A and B are shown apart, each in its own frame.
Chain A
Amino acid sequence: MDKEFFFDKQAKDPIERVGGRAKVTGAALYTADQQFQNLAYGFLVGSTVAKGRIKSIDTKAAERAPGVLAVITHQNAPKIPGYQTGRDPAKPPTAGQPLRIFYNEEIFYYDQPIALVIADTYERVLHAAKLVKAQYEKGVFQTELGSNLAKAKIPTGPRFEDYKRGEVDGYKNAPVKVEQEYYHPIEVHNPMELGNTLAHWESDQKLMVYTKTQGVEATRKSISDAFKLPPENITVHAEQIGGAFGMGLRTWPYEIAAVMGAQKVGRPLKLVLHREQMFTNVGYRPATQQKIGIGATPDGKLVGITHEAYANTSSYEEFTEATVNLTQFLYACPNVTTRYRLVPLNMCTPIWMRGPGEATGSFALESAMDELAFALNLDPIELRNRNHADVDPEKNQPWSSKYLTECFQMGAEKIGWKNRKLQPRTAQEGDWLVGYGMGTGAFGAMRWAATVKARLQPDGSLLLQCSVNDMGPGTATMMTAVATEAMGLTPAKVRIQMGSTGLPPGPTQGGSNVTATVGAAVNDVCTALKEQIATLLSKEGSRFHTANVHGVKVDDLLFAEGAVSLKQNPAIKMTYTELLQQNGLSVLEQTRESKGQQQQYSMYSFSVHFVKLRVHKPTGRIKIDHVVSCADAGTIVSPTTAASQMIGGAVGGIGMAMMEDLVIDHRFGRPINNNLADYHVPVNADIPNVDVVFVGKKDPYINQMGSKGLGEIALIGMAPAIANAVFNATGKRIRTLPITPDKLMEG
């Protein structure tokens, strides 16, 4: 039971990404790639005002345009039964009334869909969509966070009440203190795949949907609730998802529109959002204005931290995230106060974006820690070590595992931290100022529930089924890694079926839970299979039976090379194929549900990001020379894909720190850089070599593998690492992201 799962075997070759061949040959089929006979094309027309009511909408020209099959607006939209009940179930757990598409004439935000045009070709639908014209009664709208702080309110529900430990605002009494404000603009997920849904009513009671979701079960429930269809009549497919980063964590109105449209025209309908609509209709990371007050004794012991955050939400829903929560547990600190407020704006509701609130919160907290270290004339790592939280100070209970100190050591070594100057602006190469910075990340190590079915087949291969899907991190690879390890199979002998409803239910891919959750379920179901095998071995006719080996337990057996053998006498051995044959079985099948248990431990994954960069004095350009990202994520099940995920998080953090910024013209209430030329995300030339370091020590409690998640911590802490390195290089503290050249040029 307590064998060192994986941990002793890290030296072996990591397995290749499952499904890689399909991806490099173009054979992998994403939603919009699905081929259907008689396919119709949908396109959404958006509101040109940010608030108000539709006075009139003229669809005649569009309806008359060649190839147009239907134009749906609030005036003629079929009634969505779920919309009539008051609350659209297509929602994240937030308060408010989710947007009901084509429900009435009310406009809440710019580019809110006002019509769905459907035509027989893509070219024709695009053209016809341009012909829809609406008149509005314009309302007064607000789209700017900073000028609307007076409207801020505490989110509904007990989780968001102000937090206090020790004395309220106790930092103020500290001999050394820093009080600063930090701002982070709106960031947009922008996965490369556009939001898209392909809906096909196979009969008036049977629906098939391909869509960009991170959870097919959740999407099915939303559609089922909206259309009042039994879930078993709906199949949701998301076998291939071209990235999502959180954008697929709820069912969006456009997905409902596609289902509605397919019903209206009685044909399979493909609705692909335009890239511009990806900026306006499918969520984003909200802007935050944060204030940190932090104080310490002269020898660097924290006295208090107060962390306040204002974040925007929409005017119709309260979107919340854990922006201030890191501050509650990351450091041993007696006096901690946090306050979290929402400001409603006339925009689409935000949605969690990779690292979610913790990523924005860490920008403020980890920048402030760096500012405090400077004020104390201390190395920032030393300041963190002096305030290491040996137990969780928030819940006052032990950590299940925490190897943050190891992350500091390993990362500092790799980046060459010893070359960092304590005094900023003292390292220079020509016109370039050189700096080092670091930032810490942490995120709850989640383990939810998953059911996995395992089927050992006559050819000795193993089929695993689970409805969980993979937006990119390598879920199938992780599952394969767990199964090969458990069953002694080569990766080629393991096949994964996943990503659609109808399979045993898996979790939504979010909150870094999947490896801990589904991996554990794979492990459990393999254990069940092994127990069944052990039972079969005892039966008459078995080679084990013949050899007078009776009543063997799983622990007595070795599962390797597609066969089971006796540990004490490996010559007594049967291949899985032989075993099935001998027992006259076509397959051996087990299904297990597996879920996390309430523990008396605080479970978190931790990361530390290190950056070495240069700033060009005259022009303010930043050149990142080296990134080292260290993670304490427990046992690393699939080193190749885990490393890629860490690199990806670092790249996301570089984008957040240096370029991403959705600019809104508040006079019109609309974004003006809603395209990939003007909204900058990192390109290849921005990214240096990224070294990934895993501590690789198992968590004893989370699951049998000892694996915690790492999707979020890959990004959390990266932005402050860059801001801190910029300070170390230039002596300039940038508290408003992104850090663009104009903020750093000198002269």
Chain B
Amino acid sequence: MINFDYIRVSTPTAAVDALAKDKAAQWIAGGTNLIDLMKKGVLNPQKLVDINNLPLKEIRKEGKVLRIGALALNSDVSEHELVLQSQPLLAQALKAGASQQIRNMATVGGNMMQRTRCPYFYNPDMPCNKREPGTGCGALKGFNRMHAIFGTSDKCIAVHPSDMCIALVALDATVLVAGPKGERRIPFQNFHRLPGELPQRDNTLERGELILGLEIPDNPFADHVHYLKVRDRSSYAFALVSVAAALALKGKTIQDVRLGMGGVAHKPWRLVEAESFLKGKQATEAVFREAANLAMRGAKGYGQNNFKLKLGPNTIVEALKKATEKA
């Protein structure tokens, strides 16, 4: 690592200023991903601006919205009473990610900003359009077992690695950001982006925009949620495929439903078609299977990850079954 400069700021204003002033500067919060990438030489910021003292840690309920500060720790969010009560799907997804030590360091904002785990991205002398545009995609014809089946481009087939974000996209969260040009609200499904021609951009934030926090609206799903993560070992591993499922049931009838999918795309994947299909139908395995098949339309394998074309729908069905079971 280069011996970067380090400053600490205590207000969002100062944080935004610090990046506006210095193009080589980058914010650091939990650091669990950034320091990893700096050690690997993937990222080499010359200045780190420590934003951990910003007053953005609160978790609170305001009317029908749960507000979570960007600097709230993953572990704190996953066990917060308000989260457990009103957004249990989020708690489940958080607990499925990383380890307790990392959840104790990682922040909500940092989790949203984490970079892909694609090995070609992680190795500075391998081709990767995300890390170094124009060098090609190493995964396209290489190791792509972990890679995307939806929304890929010939520039990049990496997947977004977060579990938390899969729940958030299902829960219709809103991201609050502030930057040099002002502040704005970004619907969660628009926060991350598909690779297209610009795989170097993971999300729609402009340079210098700071995540302040999240808002998650109340929903009728608390009784029927399930986050199912399929991975190569029982814990402490990234998803092969994961599904966040939330149901509102009246008897066996599906009043409302949300589905998010991880390990399959460059962004948290929302299964909109499957959701509209399911609304008003009976919560049965056959119906779930039909919805899952709908959800998989347009999916494309790259060889080693072809199994996701089957594991994907199976995981959707299983997550929905599990969500249904809970009363």
Contact = CB atoms under 8 A, between A and B. Distances in A.
Contact between A and B in the complex (any CB pair below 8 Å) = yes
Interface of A: 48, 123, 126-127, 130, 431, 618-621, 623, 658-659, 663, 665, 667-668, 672-673, 677-678, 680, 682-686, 740-742, 745-747
B187 interface: no
B143 A672 contact: yes
Contacts, number: 84
A391 to B, nearest CB: 43
B314 A680 contact: no
28 contacts: A123-B3, A127-B1, A130-B41, A431-B318, A618-B314, A619-B314, A620-B311, A623-B234, A663-B143, A663-B145, A665-B126, A665-B142, A665-B143, A668-B126, A672-B142, A672-B143, A673-B119, A673-B143, A680-B232, A680-B237, A682-B233, A683-B233, A686-B235, A741-B240, A742-B307, A745-B310, A746-B314, A747-B313
B230 A619 contact: yes
Nearest to A126: B1
A627 B3 CA distance: 50
Interface in B19-60: 39, 41
Contacts of A619: 228, 230, 311, 314-315, 318
Contacts of A618: 314-315, 317-318
Contacts of B125: 48
B138 interface: yes
A684 B240 CA distance: 20
Contacts of B138: 665
A453 B84 CA distance: 63
Which 9 pairs, one residue from A and one from B, show the smallest C-beta to C-beta distance?
Answer: A742-B307, A685-B234, A685-B235, A618-B314, A672-B119, A619-B230, A686-B234, A747-B314, A680-B233
B2 interface: yes
A658 B233 contact: yes
Nearest to B311: A745
Interface in B280-327: 307, 310-311, 313-315, 317-318
A659 B235 CA distance: 12
Q: Size class of B's contact patch? A: 35 or more
A672 B231 CA distance: 18
Contacts of A740: 232
A668 B314 CA distance: 35
Contacts of B311: 619-620, 741-742, 745
A623 B313 CA distance: 21
Contacts of A48: 125
Contacts of A682: 233
B2 A745 contact: no
A618 B289 CA distance: 12
Contacts of A685: 233-236
Given A123-B3, A619-B311, A619-B314, A677 B117 contact: yes
B120 interface: yes
A673 B139 CA distance: 13
Contacts of B232: 659, 680, 740-741
B135 interface: no
B166 to A, nearest CB: 16
A617 B277 CA distance: 25
A668 B135 CA distance: 14
A683 B232 CA distance: 11
B123 interface: yes
Contact of A621 (B3, B142, B143, B230): B230
B311 to A, nearest CB: 5
Interface in B176-195: none
Nearest to A747: B314
Interface in B204-239: 228, 230-238
A684 B236 CA distance: 10
Nearest to B41: A130
A140 B91 CA distance: 51
A742 B309 CA distance: 11
A299 to B, nearest CB: 41
A667 B126 CA distance: 11
Interface string B133-167: 00000100111010000000000000000000000
A659 B233 contact: yes
B235 A745 contact: no
B229 to A, nearest CB: 10
Nearest to A664: B143
Nearest to B146: A678
A678 B119 CA distance: 9
Nearest to B98: A677
Listed residue (B117, B232, B315) with the most chain A CB atoms within 10 angstroms of its CB: B232
B284 to A, nearest CB: 15
Contacts of A741: 230-232, 240, 311
A672 B117 contact: no
B319 to A, nearest CB: 10
Nearest to B118: A672
Interface string B103-144: 000000000000001011001011000000000001001110
A667 B237 CA distance: 26
Nearest to B238: A677
A732 B125 CA distance: 40
Contacts of A667: 141-142
A667 B314 CA distance: 33
Contacts of B228: 619
B269 to A, nearest CB: 17
A685 to B, nearest CB: 4
B325 to A, nearest CB: 11
Contact of A123 (B1, B119, B310): B1
Nearest to B138: A665
Contacts of A126: 1, 39
Contacts of A130: 41
Contact of B235 (A127, A665, A683, A746): A683
A150 to B, nearest CB: 24
A683 to B, nearest CB: 5
Nearest to A743: B307
A353 to B, nearest CB: 19
B233 A686 contact: yes
A127 B41 CA distance: 10
Contacts of B231: 741
Contacts of B238: 677
Listed residue (A659, A665, A667, A685) with the most chain B CB atoms within 10 angstroms of its CB: A665
Nearest to B231: A741
Contacts of B235: 683-686
A654 B230 CA distance: 18
Given A672-B123, A747-B314, 12 more contacts: A126-B1, A431-B318, A618-B318, A619-B230, A619-B311, A620-B311, A623-B234, A672-B120, A677-B238, A683-B236, A742-B307, A742-B311
Nearest to A431: B318
Nearest to B234: A685
A88 to B, nearest CB: 29
Contacts of B119: 672-673, 678
Contacts of A659: 232-233
Given A685-B234, A741-B232, A127 B2 contact: yes
Contacts of A686: 233-235
B236 to A, nearest CB: 5
Contacts of B315: 618-619
Contacts of B1: 123, 126-127
Nearest to A655: B233
Contacts of A672: 119-120, 123, 126, 142-143
Nearest to B120: A672
